[in-house]
Structure 1
Amino acid sequence: MITVVIFEYLSEDGLRDVRRTRDLTSADMGRFGPSWGRDAAGLLHDQWMVEDRGPGYYRVRMQEERGVHVRLLAEAGERREDPGGMTTSLTLLVTAVRAHAKQHYTVVGGWDVVVECWEDRQIVDVLAEERVTTVEEAIAVFASLVSVWAGRQAGAENSAF
């Protein structure tokens, strides 16, 4: 069994970089064992985010590897943004999602929820989690959410009678 730490970086343009891996020694195992999650977050900041590669998603995973069997021990991730709060590409994607939602506000049920209830930060969180890089992907991700809300709205309207 090998225990490794894998540092990954996903830039705003969608390129993924596995920066480095290292085997944990038995001393490390004894030290990390009781607090995997906290220590993964510490490694993320101490050994990965200090080497700032710019806006993007930084992640560290601790896992045991035994042949083809992999057991995740801990994972931590964090998005680093530009000083303005959002990267240019994310700002454009949020703007595109909002514009599409406003355009379909009364035409297709559910998009009104995006217009009325979602803040930009929440839209960014969904786009970042789904690792969306294009306008088409952003609209598709929210279309799937909107279809759920549209179904709920229709159900509520039908049950009123």
Structure 2
Amino acid sequence: MSRRLAPWRERPSTLTYCRFFLMHMPDPVAILEKMYRWTRPGGVIAAQEFDFGSMTIEPICPSMTEFCRLFVGAFCGHGRNMRAGRQLPAQFEAANLGVPDGTRAEVKFIPLSGMAATLTGVYQGLFASAMELGIADDTRAEAFKTEVLEATADGR
């Protein structure tokens, strides 16, 4: 008995889905074209992407300025697409899939204190990569962590 999977062309899917994937690909249109080949006629191709192009905080504070500096530097420094979410309709059209028949965009307004754990985790996750690019240092990282902890304590 063979445990090898049949090639995709022999097993088309009813649903082909990617989440937070195209932003990391140098040619997202080529990926969407592959997804089309993997999807049986009448099936669904779905993609979900972030759009970091409008990431901000008001009023401006040092911790978010530092977070955005490190995030954008590491993300772009490694060739990732900050605006993948807003580019999906054009990418679907470029892959000859037509305009998506369902698009949803969402904006969230969250206090810094509510985002502290996420921001700290992302910052720490990107830190080594940012160090390789020469855009991170321990002093800034410590100041970032301190301010985020203070914001959590005082409810900012």
Q: Which range, TM-score by smaller chain?
A: under 0.3
**Structure with higher RCO (Cα < 8 A, 6+ apart):** 2
TM-score, normalised to structure 2, is 0.26
Higher helix share: 2
Higher strand share: 1
TM-score, normalised to structure 1, is 0.25
